[in-house]
Structure 1
Amino acid sequence: MHADEKGALAFLGIIGRWRGCEKICHVCLKARRGSGNRAKWKPKASEWREEAIFLLIAPLRTGAARLLSVPIDLAQGLVSHAFISLNFSFHHDFSRDIRAVRLFWHLHTQTSEQGIYVAGFDEKVGATSEPTLAAEAANPTFLATHPTLPVLYAVGGDDKTGGVVLAYAIDPKSGGLTLINQVADGATNGTYISVTPDGRTVLTAHYSGGYLQSFPIRADGSLGECASRVEHTLTGKHPQQSAPHPHCIKVSPDGCFAFAADLAADRIFSYRITPESKLADGKVAAALAEGCGVRHLAFSPDARFMYAINELAATVTVFAYDAATGGLREIETVSTVPPDFSGRRWSAEVAVHRSGKFLYASNRANDESIAAFAVDPASGRLAFLQRTGGLAHPRHFAISPDGGWLLCANQDANNVASFRIDATTGKLAEPAKRFGVPACVCVVFWPAK
């Protein structure tokens, strides 16, 4: 990068940086590898054309950018270690209070080299820089950020060598990651990771292995050794419920309770989090319909309601949440697929908009979509708004910190789609952008607020 291009948005196989960036969105990715030499991922020519055209005009549309130069190597269009051989360089002036975000994401393939990747994200227009490697890691499957420190946590490892929890220091300017430390996380790779609101504890859930673990966080963001471990034992009748499968562990907004959704047990378990970062007083907080396969959980911003997405039934169950006791009272269950749907039901992610007015839920398999619902503020009940299709295994998505965008990880299409959210209706517009990310499965913004 030339000296007069300081602050430029640069796509040079390193961190794509926007001047004045306040937020960073990280995503874990795995670059594909063949047996032997690394395979080279080749996006379609149309995808490169779309990328080039969008990145050329997006800064001009804001009225806040001056094009300096655009060296483009379309002949190669290759990815190695998830680095894309495509170089852009132009000045992007954020003096007009245009906020930028960075994203971290995770990419998942059966045989791959992988790591945690970073990209810039402009909340004004939904544009991103090219995702680039922020840190190498062995099979990072889920990410979480510290509430106050510039630290990112990831679960990784594998079922042969054992699981690990990794702590990374985030460079606030570039989004680069530096490993602080890592600790053992049992015999299997974790499926989910969360951090308590006070920033004192990390919690992990293990779909494979059927257990939960907790870890203390030190003052510098580093991790202490495992403080507690909880084994789940219940199973169900569905073929996917033959062994315990805690799929996520979600902390209540006040940080007093941790809730674990066990897909095999059709139950949500609650645990008290002690000052020593231990999980204690475990009990069944809610028993759901047999065979529903509860997967992920989300709280309303006012902490009055919890929403559970049920993977095997393709439904969302609404609960009233009692913050004093950690109790859950079931209110209703709604479908995420059409009434006449026939095929495999395979839901994935659920999230509540920061306004509390809307909820989004993703479906995979025979209904590749995101279903949007309006939330009744008094009762927490859901009213169907819209179903957005044209996706490919939307395993995870995240809503931008300003609430203006939903970024959906299309695992099987090797891209992330950026949808603008209508602040009044909650509906998703057609994708403003689809940017190439091989087999992305997790998207995280930083800072989260």
Structure 2
Amino acid sequence: MKYRLFASSYTGGKPGDGIYALEFDGERLRCRDVCAELVNPSYIQPDGDRLFAVEETENGAAMAVFETEKGLALQARYETPGSGMCHVTRCGACLYGSSYAGGSITGIRWENGELCSFRQHEGQGPNAQRQEGPHAHSAQPSPDGQHLFVADLGTDRLYQYDIASGGELFPHEAQPWIQVPPGRGPRHFAFHPNGRWLYLVAELENSLLVYSYEPHESVLRPAGEYSLRGGNCPPEALAADVHLTGTGDFLYASVRGSDRIFGFQVKGDGGELEPAGNWPSFGRGPRSFDLSPDGRFLAIANQDSGSLALCSRNAASGAVDRLVAELSLPQVCCVKWEPSAGA
């Protein structure tokens, strides 16, 4: 069985080897194609036979579209409003990029680059070094695709926008944002497959926040909190990424500094988590990770050690068992399996 996956790396502020198309046969991991045309492609998102990417630069922003049927063919690159863009997600005909440095969310039509929305966040948090202003870190559509949620690390808010027919974003009247406990720094989040729960990683306090989600009102309500500080967690540790298995029975989160992957068994319909253990990331600085579509493997982008680690996973216990394959990729910062891989 062959799997396809993609990874991206920082390029030192100039065009260079930054996006990789990879192949994994269950034992060996190899590179099939490389794109060296973008600057600091900090986040990628495969979607069917396309791959979307952002460039993270302080004085501007850009989103790019690749065709991936035969490798990595750059189809288009669009300069956009914003700066320090660090995340991209698709909803219908639009891409939405989160600008960390600029504290804004930008929407464009991916087929032609036409701007469909721009929303500037305002405010700050109690952490003077990291929350001096807004820092939009990630965005995802609601399970029904009618709303866009945006995690802003700088303002300790999870914003919610209604998505108009043309892609323009409007604050959701019932709940334009939910305030995260001060100083937590919301970063990445994931919805349970049943659409009734949202799990949010708080980077600055190394915690996992659980919210119930009422789809009819599109309203979030706090439902629990779990620590990500096990495994001899140092003071400078920073939580990073979060994902669930396709069946929603296990959840995983990564922490840089302790360099661990934390696992939780999801109980009931998703509102309760039970710690299942924590395991090494087989590198330093696990900024990003992803589960293979069949749930057999974890791919971990260890930015600080410049290594992409592929680990096996025990489906019954949820444990991350062992290192299966590894590839050196300097400054690797994002990894994603092709959605149809292993199917």
The normalised TM-score by structure 1 is 0.71
TM-superposed deviation, 1:317: 0.5
Equivalent residue for 2:23?
Answer: 120
CA change 1:436–1:340 in 2 (3 A) is closer
1:264 counterpart = 2:154:
yes
TM-superposed deviation, 1:303: 1.0
Equivalent residue for 2:67?
Answer: 169
Within 2, Cα distance between the matches of 1:354 and 1:377? 16
TM-superposed deviation, 1:126: 4.4
Equivalent residue for 1:377?
Answer: 268
Equivalent residue for 1:154?
Answer: 53
Q: Counterparts in 2 of 1:173-192, with a 5 A limit?
A: 174=70, 176-192=71-87
Aligned pair count?
A: 336
Deviations 1:308-340 (A, max 9, x none): 000001000011111122211111010011297
* Matched-pair identity in %: 28
CA change 1:133–1:400 in 2 (3 A) is same
Q: Secondary structure at the match of 2:304?
A: helix
Question: What residue identity is the alignment partner of 1:116?
Answer: I
1:200 to 93, 111, 126: 93
1:275 counterpart = 2:165:
yes
TM-superposed deviation, 1:448: 4.7
Q: Secondary structure at the match of 2:130?
A: helix
Q: Secondary structure at the match of 1:430?
A: strand
* Bigger Cα Rg: 1
Question: What residue identity is the alignment partner of 2:61?
Answer: G
Within 1, Cα distance between the matches of 2:260 and 2:33? 27
Question: What residue identity is the alignment partner of 2:29?
Answer: T
Deviations 1:148-168 (A, max 9, x none): 4x11111116223x2111111
Within 2, Cα distance between the matches of 1:271 and 1:166? 23
Equivalent residue for 1:301?
Answer: 193
8 Å contact kept, 1:145–1:446: yes
Equivalent residue for 1:231?
Answer: 120
Within 1, Cα distance between the matches of 2:11 and 2:285? 13
Within 1, Cα distance between the matches of 2:338 and 2:9? 18
Question: What residue identity is the alignment partner of 1:226?
Answer: L
Gaps of 5+ in 1: 1-97
8 Å contact kept, 1:362–1:371: yes
Equivalent residue for 2:277?
Answer: 386
Equivalent residue for 1:31?
Answer: none
Q: Secondary structure at the match of 1:241?
A: coil
Equivalent residue for 1:434?
Answer: 326
Deviations 1:267-292 (A, max 9, x none): 10101111101111245432111101
8 Å contact kept, 2:284–2:304: yes
Equivalent residue for 2:103?
Answer: 210
Within 1, Cα distance between the matches of 2:136 and 2:299? 25
Equivalent residue for 1:327?
Answer: 219
Question: What residue identity is the alignment partner of 1:236?
Answer: G
Q: Counterparts in 2 of 1:290-439, with a 5 A limit?
A: 290-338=182-230, 341=233, 343-365=235-257, 367-389=258-280, 390-439=282-331
Within 2, Cα distance between the matches of 1:187 and 1:383? 39
1:144 to 9, 33, 45: 45
The normalised TM-score by structure 2 is 0.92
Equivalent residue for 1:53?
Answer: none
Question: What residue identity is the alignment partner of 2:304?
Answer: D
CA change 1:281–1:156 in 2 (3 A) is same
Within 2, Cα distance between the matches of 1:376 and 1:388? 21
Within 2, Cα distance between the matches of 1:381 and 1:294? 20
Q: Secondary structure at the match of 1:347?
A: strand
Q: Secondary structure at the match of 2:115?
A: coil
Question: What residue identity is the alignment partner of 1:156?
Answer: E
Within 2, Cα distance between the matches of 1:213 and 1:326? 21
Within 2, Cα distance between the matches of 1:114 and 1:341? 33
Within 1, Cα distance between the matches of 2:43 and 2:197? 24
Greater per-residue strand proportion: 2
Within 1, Cα distance between the matches of 2:56 and 2:290? 24
Q: Secondary structure at the match of 1:385?
A: strand
8 Å contact kept, 1:164–1:184: yes
Question: What residue identity is the alignment partner of 1:258?
Answer: L
Question: What residue identity is the alignment partner of 2:154?
Answer: A
RMSD (Å) for aligned C-alpha atoms: 1.9
1:103 counterpart = 2:1:
no
